[in-house]
Amino acid sequence: MVDKKPEAEVTNEAYANKLKELRAQLKLGGGQKRIDTQHEKGKQTARERIEMLLDEGSFQEINGMMLHRHTDFDLDKNKVMSDGMVTGFGTINGRKVCVYAQDFTVMGGSFGEVAGQKVARIQDLAMDAGVPVIGINDGAGARIQEGVFSLYAYGEVFYRNVQSSGVIPQISVIMGPCAGGAVYSPAITDFIVMTEGTGNMYITGPAVIKAVTHEDVDTETLGGASTHTSISGVAHFSAPTEEGTFAIVKKILEYIPDNNASTPKVLPTDDSPFRADKSLQTTVPADPNTTYNVLDVINSVVDRGSFFEVHANFAQNAVVGFARMNGESIGVVANQPAVMAGVLDINSSDKIARFVRFCDSFNIPVLTFTDCPGFMPGTMTEHNGIIRHGAKILFAYSEATVPVITVITRKAYGGAYIAMGSKHLKADMVFAWPGAEITVMGADGAINILYGRELKTLKESNPEEASAKRAEILNDYKENFSNPYKAAASGYVDEVILPEETRQRVIASLDMLRNKVSAAPAKKHGNIPL
């Protein structure tokens, strides 16, 4: 008879120790050597970034132990828990959020099947909970070794980006490479924040561009933070450090709600709603050809220190951003006379339309400051589709159901007057300052069309009389047309106000419109001229 060896005793402590060992392995990601390499590049790891972003101790990881199932190219010999993607939820300043972060220490943060499943899961959770989702991008793109499974992974995420759009806020943070298909998830989200020097986005890298088009370009010039915040407009914000990048994310969250069924938090303020800033009397020059900075107007009207500009370096002839009025979050849109006279071109049209649509999606009232001579003329502008792009502004304001309040500070000419939140697009309240010019076009241009032939004939026979006649006609035109009173007489302007009255009138209007209900025709969605 053979004696049996006694079975090893299994204890709860052994189970616990096993789990603790696995958790320790999980936190190491691709290993200490790769973590050190990440630090040498001036970059934090995925887990360190999440700890930096979220409130201390609030992160709750999910699906941390998932492993990929692939064997091609020896992938079965390279399995790491979490598979290059850290997902979970936590709080930022006490506010619930879902978050995911690519782990560059695991196969360069390449995006495979498991990464797609994990991100899709956290997106679904964010939708179910009705909370913002924040994605931290730092990866080498699709995991080529997994073939179509990596493409499936991207598709699942893209689909959820679209389904989530307008339902929960989505913020993308670019802290490393984001290439190929990886760029399209951030592109669908509401805001993109990039870290300068390390974050970059591009469809094809410098090597491919060199081979195909023979252009020599480095990664930073091709798709760095400066490029995307100022030239392409793909990104909205940038910061020189990872800490600064996350500070911007936290700032965005201060102005927006958790979802489309809620409203932004109202913060206490010691800035009186009845404050009348006398400096506004001289901020806008009486001469329509003299420039000024519209930021001076915005900062004088909104709660002190509350304006937070979005897309500050892109299409600077328009200004968009968040602010507060008597503690309430609002979206601000303005023409910028200090750049290109505030004219509307292709990029500024896109910038304004997208921001207005974001505000409308998330119950944020829109305050517009209008001072615009019209849409940019020229063959290049026309050939590049100014009609299509300009129509986006019309579409955005027309479909908006949030309170829309417009203040015409000076020029409101032609189609630009209509597009910039006019009464004709169903703005709730339109105010104009006394020097406002609401007309089809500027006085000089109008005179040339209406009286050009007559004045030309007179000039040929008597130049001095022609000059005097032109001056007389010009003064008459300005008296009769280049002012806000005709529009006010027709009800297209609700009230002509003194500049220093603007803050009080806007706040009172917002209070009146707080419970605004707007009905739209039954339809799936409109067909915006993209």
For residue 394, give the CATH number of its domain.
3.90.226.10
Residue 15 lies in a domain: no
Residue 350 sits in the same domain as residue 203? no
Residue 21 lies in a domain: no
Residues annotated as catalytic are: 180-181, 415-416
Residue 304 lies in a domain: yes
Q: What residues make up the domain containing 135?
A: 27-255
Q: Is 152 left (phi over 0), alpha (psi -120 to 50) or beta?
A: alpha
| In the predicted structure, residue 74 carries a pLDDT above the cut 60 | yes
pLDDT tens, 368-421?
Answer: 999 999 999 999 999 999 999 999 999 999 999 999 999 999 999 999 999 999
Residue 245 sits in the same domain as residue 301? no
Residue 303 sits in the same domain as residue 204? no
Residue 376 sits in the same domain as residue 449? no
pLDDT tens, 266-290?
Answer: 999 999 999 999 999 999 998 888 9
Per the document, the length of the chain is: 530
Last residue in a domain, options 255, 290, 325? 255
Last residue in a domain, options 218, 240, 255? 255
Residue 205 sits in the same domain as residue 296? no
- Measured at the CA of 163, the angle between CA 361 and CA 116, to 5 degrees, comes to 135
Higher pLDDT, 457 or 391: 391
Residue 488 lies in a domain: yes
- Per DSSP, 407 falls in state E
Residue 247 sits in the same domain as residue 307? no
Residue 369 lies in a domain: yes
Residue 323 sits in the same domain as residue 198? no
pLDDT at 426: 95
User: Which candidate, 342, 279, 269, 255, places its Cα nearest to that of 304?
Assistant: 269
Residue 460 sits in the same domain as residue 424? no
Residue 529 lies in a domain: no
Residue 245 sits in the same domain as residue 330? no
Q: Distance between CA 41 and CA 100 in Å, rounded? A: 21
Residue 386 sits in the same domain as residue 334? yes
Residue 244 sits in the same domain as residue 297? no
Structural domain count of the chain: 3
Q: Are 277 and 301 spatial neighbours (Cβ–Cβ below 8 Å)?
A: yes
Residue 430 sits in the same domain as residue 462? no
Listing DSSP states for 179-197 in one string gives: EGGGGHHHHHSSEEEEETT
Which of 9-23, 37-51, 144-158, 470-484 shows the lowest mean pLDDT across its residues? 470-484
Q: Are 136 and 173 spatial neighbours (Cβ–Cβ below 8 Å)?
A: yes
